[in-house]
Amino acid sequence: MLKASTQTILLSVLKLEEEKPKENYFGDDTEVIRGKKWNWKTFKTTGDYPVSPNLLDWVIGQERALDECYLGLEEWVHKLKYLQKEKWYEAWKDQDKEKPTTTKQVPPGPYLLLLGDPGTGKSLIGRALAAHLTELYKKHKIQLHDVVCWPNDVTPSEPKISCHPPGEAKKIIFKQKLKEAKKLFLVRIGMKFVTYLLIVIAAIFLFAGFFYLWQQKVRWDSNEIIITGEALQASYKGDFFKYILDSFVTIGVTTFLPAGTLLMFLILVNIIGRFGMISGAKGIGGAKASNVPKLIVDNSKKVAPFVDATGHGSAQLFGSIAWDPLQTGGLGTPEHQRVSAGDVHRAHMGILFIDEVKNLNSSGAVTLLTVLEDGQLPITLRSRWDQGATAAMAVATEPVPCMCFLVGAGNFDSISQIHPALMDRIYGYGKVVRMNNDMPNNLENRHKYVQFIAQEAKRFHLDPFSRGACMEILDEGRRRSNKRDALTTKFRPLIAIVKTAATLAMNEGSQVVEGKHVKEAIDKHCKTIQKQILEHYVSERGQLLEINPEGVRLGQIYGLAIITDPYSNEATGNVLTVKGFLEKRNERSGTPLKGYYKVTGTAKSGKERIIADSVDKVRSVILQKYGMDIAQDYFTHIDFAQAYGVDGPSAGVTMAILLCSLIEGKPIKQDVAVTGEINVGVGGVIQVTAVGGLHEKIKAAEMWGFKKVIIPAKNYKHSIDTRDYDIEVVPGETLEDYLKECLVHNELEHLYPNKFRHTKS
């Protein structure tokens, strides 16, 4: 058992550590950052902080992950240098050359799998690697490639593939389009010539027809004698219309009929021509119904590709063949124009990033294995309709290069959910890296927090943050790490705080974001929905709870607990009213009863009834301390009043203190709340060990108006900075430490609790 002096010394040392001034929070050094002097002692805002243009410099707190990434990139570049020396691309330079179909043309690896909680920088690392890879390619003269899909005149359902230096493919496409345009121009000129010629011929026939009709009118007017020797008008009895109709039938067969036929033919050709233009409209990927080759992978910018394939299906990931005429640009769209490259092809010689890689289905994982092993994959139809019977679905290209550096990401549960074969390849040819959730709270990392704030302010075009605002964000990062000497590396939630605080400052008309803006953002605006729901639940229940942190009472104590959202693990603190009853068996008159030990208000079912262990340990602790069995010799009842299913180890010390109070007959101070896990005593010492959720528990006690909270000494030393709270936080290492702070030991302490509290502190 710790002596009083030992506890006092421990408490004094911890308080001295906490009371170190914050003026030197960032040190006194002057540092040269990217060619600019930066004085950490005197800087007022982040406005002039030199932010790096290199995304890899933006990654904070993940040094080991970056080291593994650098090693992986060096291995990747070494592999590409060897392949370039072997001129692997020769088979793809000419579309008419035969492509390699055997497997294992390219040695597999390396790959990276980043595992960690959301917001730790996995996506940022993926994007930063692509930028760094571009620099390595320039340094080692490694060339990217464009990929072009060509028509296959022999087997149209097997389009040909060719690879070219970056930018060359566009020139090839332009030349082919120009060639196609020349052909189309000649065809159009020929069609126009034929059209005009037919129009002229039709006009001649029409002219001849009308000329012959005029001649018949002249004959009628002259009333010439016809072959029968009779006058023309007399022959038709003066009916001119009958005469002209007979003449029109004869003349029309040789003049008007050919002219009309030619005109109808021209109209039909014109309609077909217009329909052909409609069918050549742009379709999927800009495709047209032409024989011009299609550019399916464009690296003309000469930047290492970064393709985020998170959540993509097979068609997006591995490419597909469009077969719906409404998508492709027309019924006559050739096969090669219906080819669309997948993510693995567009990421050729670049970064293929797949977050939540565990969500890949079995077929997708197996196909990805082919990509990683072979470095090439034909493009064919991939969709839920890929078992269709139409010939449009039977198109498959030649093998398309897809050597990509896989960067997978996920939470720690991904290890057991990723396809076993894929996981085996990653273990064999790559590396699995754990992302840090926190980093040491030292001077260097506090400087990096300022860097982080400056980066986000620049990225979102925000006003600069003051020194005080930076310190507030640092304190929040420390609190979120749940450690006194650490800072969280889950920066995404902190980004929301940075943006919100900047908006609050802007609304006030302030040119600099101050600490008060950060505090308001944290306390009011940047809570997750789960946190809001939990706090609302506690607030609503709080109106019905019987909690009064005043005075002293025998048989009642307040414990601290947390309520956790099962899906997000968000937690909020809660205060438990715990009441107790203890009576010796022989004090009850009448028929002798067997003793009992009941605890109500706890969890009744579930695999993890942790509190059941605490209930048992409390019985043993009381037996060790007082030599009495509360289950056999006493009627013992502990009730977590209005608690509705309490579980967890932190209720152990609460129950133990309550029973000690009843046994010794000493009231409990009601303005003190406690938490901690009780343990069976060894060597006469009953130890209280650390529990979780301390920050939320202390905040709950503070909100309810308690004056003091007792927590395990390990938690105090490891997790708590008392400057975060307005309530007095006291460490306790043993049950005796807790009893000393909770029980009223004499009449004077009962009458003047504030005076005695001041004396002890």
Q: Do residues 224 and 129 share a domain? A: no
H-type alpha helices, 255-394: 256-279, 314-318, 325-328, 343-346, 362-374
Is the Cα dihedral 141, 147, 150, 156 positive or negative? positive
> Is residue 99 included in any domain, yes or no?
yes
Query: Does residue 583 share a domain with residue 649?
Result: yes
| Alpha carbons 5 and 1: distance in angstroms, whole number | 12
> Quick one: 363 and 404 in the same domain?
yes
Q: What angle do CA 295, 297, 303 make, to 5 degrees?
A: 130
Instruction: Identify the active-site residue in 320, 414, 466, 650.
Output: 650
Does this model's pTM top 0.85?
Answer: no
Instruction: Report which of 394, 402, 335, 399 is spatially closest to residue 161, judged by C-alpha positions.
Output: 399
Residues 125, 179, single domain; the answer is: no
Dist. CA 746–CA 744, nearest whole Å: 6
Q: Give the domain extent around 630.
A: 539-760
697 classed as catalytic: yes
**Domain for residue 73, yes or no?**
no
Q: Is 84 among the domain residues?
A: no
Q: What are phi and psi of 442, to 5 degrees?
A: -115, 180
Q: Which of 381, 416, 434 is the last residue of a domain?
A: 434
Shared domain for 683 and 708, answered yes or no, is yes
- Residue 68 inside a domain? The answer is no
Q: Which of 490, 697, 707, 708 is catalytic?
A: 697
In a domain, 152, yes or no: yes
**Residue 100 DSSP one-character state:** P
Q: Coil, strand or helix: which one is 519?
A: helix
**Is 549 found in the same domain as 693?**
yes
**Does some domain include residue 366?**
yes
Q: How many domains does the chain have?
A: 4
Sign of CA dihedral 495, 726, 443, 33: positive
Closest CA to 90 of 99, 102, 78, 81: 99
What sign has the CA pseudo-torsion 627, 633, 634, 640?
positive
Give 10-residue mean pLDDT values along the chain (761 residues).
Answer: 47 48 74 90 91 87 88 91 85 83 70 89 86 89 92 89 91 87 80 84 86 82 74 77 79 82 82 56 53 90 91 88 62 79 93 90 88 89 59 80 91 86 88 90 93 94 94 91 89 93 94 94 83 72 79 91 71 85 75 80 61 84 90 88 68 90 92 91 87 87 90 89 88 92 71 42 29
Q: Do 464 and 322 share a structural domain?
A: no
Residue 452, beta-bridge partner list: none
Distance from the first to the final alpha carbon of the chain: 20
Predicted pLDDT of residue 382: 76
Q: Note the pLDDT of residue 587.
A: 62
- Structure-block tokens of residue 556: 């009642």
Identity (one letter) of the amino acid at 232? L
- Is residue 383 among the annotated active site residues? no
Per the domain annotation, does 638 fall within a domain?
Answer: yes
In a domain, 82, yes or no: no
Shared domain check, 673 and 562: yes
Of the three residues 434, 461, 492, the one that is the final residue of a domain is 434
Q: Name the nearest CA neighbour of 170 among 151, 152, 144, 146.
A: 146
708-712 and 571-584 strand pairing: unpaired
* Domain end marker among 371, 405, 434: 434
Burial of 384 from C-beta contacts in 10 A (0-12 / 13-18 / 19+)? exposed
- The 3-class SS string of 436-491 reads CCEEECCHHHHHHHHHHHHHHHHHCCCCCEEHHHHHHHHHHHHHHHCCCCEEECCH
179 and 158 belong to one structural domain: no
> Is residue 603 located within the same domain as residue 717?
yes
Question: What pLDDT, on the 0 to 100 scale, is given for residue 607?
Answer: 44
Question: Tokens 């959910």 identify what position?
Answer: 417
Alpha carbon distance 486, 438 (integer Å): 6
- Would you say 353 and 123 are in contact if contact means Cβ atoms under 8 Å apart? yes
My answer on whether 428 and 543 are in the same domain is no
CATH number at residue 461: 1.10.8.60
Q: Is residue 357 located within the same domain as residue 451?
A: no
Alpha carbon distance 712, 653 (integer Å): 10
Q: The CATH number of the domain where 416 resides is what? A: 3.40.50.300
